[in-house]
Amino acid sequence: MHMRDLVGMGHHFLPSEPTNWNVEDVYESIRSLPGCQEIAEGFRSQEIDGQALLLLREDHLMSAVNIKLGPALKIYARINMLKDS
């Protein structure tokens, strides 16, 4: 992996292709969103990796991961941004 294949996320660098993210990469990505630091632990405990993250829908976020609507919308917007990039 080369540096150009990494995306900066605070002090943590993630592989640029989200499908290659492991559970810790997803945790760091979610943790970096405003107001989602505590929610990130739910992604880790549910073992959500990059492939699973890209499959999540809003209803998954609110039911399976038990996230309130506001943070769920922020996370879903991040997921859509990742899908489009």
Q: Is the pLDDT reported for residue 1 higher than 70?
A: no
- What is the model's pTM? 0.79
Tokens of 66: 């038990």
pLDDT tens-digit series, residues 8-66: 444 457 878 999 999 999 999 999 999 898 899 999 999 999 999 999 998 888 887 78
Output the pLDDT for position 26: 96
Q: Which CATH number does the domain housing residue 17 bear?
A: 1.10.150.50
Distance CA 48, CA 55 (A): 10
Residue-number span of the structural domain to which 55 is assigned: 3-84
Output the pLDDT for position 12: 59
The kind and range of the H/E element at 7 are strand 6-9
Whether residue 55 contacts residue 41, with contact meaning beta carbons closer than 8 Å, is answered with no
Say how many domains are in the chain: 1
Cβ partners under 8 Å of residue 24, min gap 6: 44
* DSSP reduced 3-state for 13: strand
